[in-house]
Structure 1
């Protein structure tokens, strides 16, 4: 099995305070450790960047929010795909790229766990890829807690949102694993 590392939306735009409190402040460093390992082993790496089409978005091209964070900046030869929706497979050449390079397994990490990471993970599994989710190289924010649909609900913490999202993916769409386990198991 050829396994690619898929880094999703690890961008400066997620440093904006509008997102609220965040869990896992080590996510970028953990993703950087995975990236260094993949590069050292000359394994395939794919970077995904969210380019928002919403005016004023922190992830807009005009705000600098599309710049990759230093820990995971692409280097020459690494694939980069831009998207404007949650799934990295919609409106991009990602699936064709992966299949064209004989990739049938993915290690996924990035921002944010319940949105672009979850949607891409679900779709990858539905497309037949074997997926491992590096859950400690992912993070989310309290702004992802949309509980206003039920006034009896209390807002969730970023950690609760993250844990719930990972729990929904694990076992059906992916195997949730730690970065340390991946570094030990990946050649």
Structure 2
């Protein structure tokens, strides 16, 4: 791992109790949280920066609703007192948040992104981050997808959604890797 990679913060996106609600079932990678926990423990052990992003959805029917019972960050990745928590109200972690400012304050030219789900907030955050000229490393085993259904009724299973999204993001927007490469 290069010196530059050692300085990259770990960003944990939308890993909240909401992700365990029925709307998010049939994940292609049910072990994504275990991988995030391993990465988090590694980052903390090496005293590397960790940033948490918490989604506070205004829509009352959302599992991520700001005042809903499942809005809390999952206990497995609960932030330490010195780890910043960025709150967002949109799918993208850069829109109307302090993420860009926080990354700049710590001198980060990029970040390692983990969280949920790859074809929603992860995708939006990666594309915006790339537009802001950040280098984004995406460990494929530290995220997941769920099935997608189109308005016309066509549907795609979670594995297809996952692989297609990674292919698109990896072609231009992020360095797709495996957590084992980051833990070396």
For normalisation by structure 2, the TM-score amounts to 0.93
Q: C-alpha separation between the residues in 1 aligned to 2:137 and 2:165?
A: 14
Matched, 1:33 2:67: no
What is the DSSP-based 3-state SS (H/G/I as helix, E as strand, rest coil) of the residue aligned with 1:63?
Answer: coil
Query: How many residues matched?
Result: 179
For residue 61 of structure 1, report the CA deviation from its aligned partner: 2.5
What is the DSSP-based 3-state SS (H/G/I as helix, E as strand, rest coil) of the residue aligned with 1:61?
Answer: coil
* 2:124 equivalent in structure 1: 119
Q: C-alpha separation between the residues in 1 aligned to 2:28 and 2:72?
A: 21
- Contact 1:31/1:71 (8 A) holds in 2: no
* 1:69 equivalent in structure 2: 74
Q: C-alpha separation between the residues in 2 aligned to 1:50 and 1:114?
A: 15
Matches within 5 A, 1:139-150: 139-142=144-147, 145-149=148-152
Runs of 4+ in 1 over 3 A off after TM superposition: none
Q: C-alpha separation between the residues in 1 aligned to 2:8 and 2:118?
A: 21
Unaligned runs of 5+ in 2: none
Unaligned runs of 5+ in 1: none
Residues 7-65 of structure 1 deviation map (CA, whole Å, 9 limit, x = unaligned)? 10011001111233211111111001111111011111100011110012111132222
For normalisation by structure 1, the TM-score amounts to 0.91
Q: C-alpha separation between the residues in 1 aligned to 2:132 and 2:68?
A: 34
Residues 54-92 of structure 1 deviation map (CA, whole Å, 9 limit, x = unaligned)? 012111132222211122111110010110111100011
Matches within 5 A, 1:119-138: 119-138=124-143
Matches within 5 A, 1:102-113: 102-113=107-118
- Contact 2:60/2:68 (8 A) holds in 1: no
For residue 162 of structure 1, report the CA deviation from its aligned partner: 1.1
For residue 160 of structure 1, report the CA deviation from its aligned partner: 1.0
What is the DSSP-based 3-state SS (H/G/I as helix, E as strand, rest coil) of the residue aligned with 1:171?
Answer: helix
* 2:103 equivalent in structure 1: 98
User: What is the CA RMSD across the aligned residues, in angstroms?
Assistant: 1.2
* 2:164 equivalent in structure 1: 164
What is the DSSP-based 3-state SS (H/G/I as helix, E as strand, rest coil) of the residue aligned with 1:32?
Answer: helix
